[in-house]
Amino acid sequence: MLKFQTVRVGSGGPIPCVHCGGSAEPVSHIPAAEVIEGIREAAAQKDPTGFNLILGGTDAFGHQELPALVNAAVLEGVARLAVETDGGALGVGGNAGGALHAGVRHVRVTVIDLNRAVSGVTAWIEAAAGVDAHVVATAVIPVCAHNVAALSQSVAALAEAGVAGITLDATDATPSAAVSAHIVAACDTGTVNGVWVDVSGSEGLLPASHLLHRLEEGAAR
């Protein structure tokens, strides 16, 4: 299926769950020239579907020179350009419309705070409604013991906001029958709401009935 190449614009950001603890890695950004070099290298290795790129590693909207990075990707002939965000920046000012205008067609929202993610997706979809362009919003939910019981509600809220696909990143989830049941329910909530949900880091978490939801190897979201 579609393969996206990730070019990092920086690293760090808030921890996925305050209850799980851990310390936030400070945000740092890679200089634009270095990122642009990475974009050029990525452009040389095209997928059959074209040059598909994610600007990620941290919230891309935090990079002061994001417009120049997007412009560089466009000049390199990017077909599908995605940016990683937690959604907060999409609701600010004209960010969503600006990104769209510049050539961004995919946003990949990491769900740290559900309300922020939903507002960001909503802003993105609203901005796209005014222009003649096909866009997509996807979401990644890092699954932990503190949000697993609410996964179905999160999926439903994101579906209502307009996401097309959601990845449940279960890498740090402790396997148990209860966790498995919540993940299955979240997958089913997606299906009945017309949103595809797949699960990564899911060895043993998905029952045989739901194996279709296992994230395809190499797929980027």
Partner 1 sequence: MTFDSSNPMRTVLVGLNSPGYQSLALGYLRAYAQADSRLAGRVAFQTLDLTVEVDPWWVAYRVLALDPDLVAISMTCWNARSAHEFCRIVKQARPQTLIVMGGPEVGPIAEDVLRAHREVDMVVRGEGEQTFSELLYAITRGRRVEHVEGVSARMVDGSIVSAPDRALIADLDSIPSPYLTGVMSPVDGGAYIETYRGCPHNCGYCFEGKGYARIRRFSETRVAQEIDLLASTSGVHSFSFIDPVFNLTPERLRWLSERLAPHAARGMRLHTVEVDIERIDDEQAGLLVAAGVASVETGPQSIGAAALAECKRGFDKERFMNGVAALKRAGIVVECDLIVGLPGDTVEDFFSGIEFCMDLDPGIIQTSTLHVLPGTDLYERAGELGLRFDPEPPHEIVSTRTIGYNDLRRAEVRAVFLQRQYRARI
* Structure-token pair, residue 143: 């699954």
Q: Least CB distance from residue 212 to partner 1, whole Å?
A: 5
- Cβ-based nearer residue to partner 1, 99 or 144: 99
Q: Least CB distance from residue 150 to partner 1, whole Å?
A: 21
- Cβ-based nearer residue to partner 1, 30 or 85: 85
User: CA-to-CA distance for 216 and 137, rounded, in angstroms?
Assistant: 19
Q: Least CB distance from residue 78 to partner 1, whole Å?
A: 7
- Cβ-based nearer residue to partner 1, 97 or 103: 103
φ, ψ (nearest 5 deg) of residue 48:
-55, -25
- Cβ-based nearer residue to partner 1, 44 or 208: 208
Strands 51-56 and 25-29: unpaired
- Cβ-based nearer residue to partner 1, 37 or 47: 47
- Cβ-based nearer residue to partner 1, 59 or 198: 198
Q: Least CB distance from residue 52 to partner 1, whole Å?
A: 8
Within 8 A by CB and 6+ apart from 12, the residues are 24, 25, 26, 27, 28, 58
Answer whether 203's CB lies under 8 Å from 171's CB.
Answer: no
Answer whether 171's CB lies under 8 Å from 201's CB.
Answer: yes
Within 8 A by CB and 6+ apart from 121, the residues are 87, 90, 107, 109, 137, 139, 158, 161, 162, 163
Q: Least CB distance from residue 91 to partner 1, whole Å?
A: 20
Residue ranges in contact with partner 1 by CB under 8 A: 1-2, 48-50, 74, 78-81, 103, 105-106, 133-136, 138, 164-165, 190-191, 194-196, 209, 212-213
**CA dihedral defined by 72, 49, 4, 210, rounded to 10 degrees?**
160
Q: Least CB distance from residue 77 to partner 1, whole Å?
A: 9
The letter for the amino acid at 42 is A
